[in-house]
Homo-oligomer: A and B are copies of this chain.
């Protein structure tokens, strides 16, 4: 599928209703073999990413480029028997039986939360799963239960370790979510590289110099060249290509993600990811395992308000807290629709036709 959505111009966007998009994706996944409940949930993870503006993990990138080809090629087990390989009262290791990442992910996060309900906190490391969409979705599952949630996942290597010139680590995201009382919940969901590969692709189209710290050339030299072809550039860890800029920090965080998601589960690290088969990690801390949830949430509100009240730096008109921009985007897109490139809309309509149902958009 074309990546033309990356450079979508205003006149190329169609505004699609989130509910209609969800229905189309769920139905497609069902026609491709997923049970209805699993298809619904998988679609929800993807459409939630679109609504929140995490376009790289939403429908228009992931469906044509990952899930549909993988499902059509029989590379994902649509009826997995997800099993607990080993467990203690607060931990578990899960084998995803090569299932759809979202389905295995829900299993892992729900198990972590069940253990948190029972003994205070719960952690689940998962192997033999697949690309699970936006990491933040799973961390956010903890919010309605007054838990702090986290999730990480290994990903195919595209990022160099500090001092290296070949990729050894995935963009290995870390997501942490914490509940609030009146303020928008704290939702942190970031790659441990400075930026995701697709941001480089998008920025390169403009032809302007890339910001420092995004990429290096194939000799490992930090570069700002937007014209370097994709196979001639590598991503840099958060902090960039030097120790003084903190590149060892982003690099170390990526290794931690591999330890949690890959070493504890036995999935292996980023270099062991085959296709989209990878490992995840899910955690949940019940807030009232530490202190009354209401007190915690009021303190969260107070912290967030004090952050909002920070006098702004030149060039900024607001101090945001993690999760707020995504929340604003979600309000906007729920009201006015999700902008999807017309080529992707055409692809989805054609997909529905091939699978034998009315697209409904």
Contacts and interface: CB of A to CB of B under 8 A. Distances in A.
A213 B303 contact: no
Interface in A81-109: 85-93
A245 B212 contact: yes
A200 B92 CA distance: 44
A281 to B, nearest CB: 10
Interface stretch (A2-10, A63-71, A249-257, A340-348): A249-257
Interface in A231-267: 238-242, 244-246, 248-253, 255-256, 258-260, 263-266
Contact of A269 (B269, B289, B303): B303
Contacts of A250: 238, 246
B259 A213 contact: no
Contacts of A148: 259-260, 264
Given A290-B93, A299-B263, A299-B268, A319 B162 contact: yes
Contact of A312 (B220, B290, B311): B220
Chain copies in the assembled complex? 2
Contacts of A72: none
A141 interface: no
Interface of A: 85-93, 119-123, 125, 148, 160-166, 168, 176, 178, 186, 188, 190, 194-195, 211-213, 216, 219-221, 238-242, 244-246, 248-253, 255-256, 258-260, 263-266, 268-269, 271, 285-287, 289-291, 295-296, 299-300, 303, 306-307, 310-316, 318-322
23 contacts: A89-B120, A91-B289, A93-B290, A164-B316, A165-B311, A165-B313, A168-B306, A168-B310, A176-B259, A188-B253, A188-B255, A190-B252, A213-B213, A221-B315, A240-B245, A248-B320, A255-B321, A263-B296, A263-B300, A263-B303, A264-B285, A264-B287, A265-B290
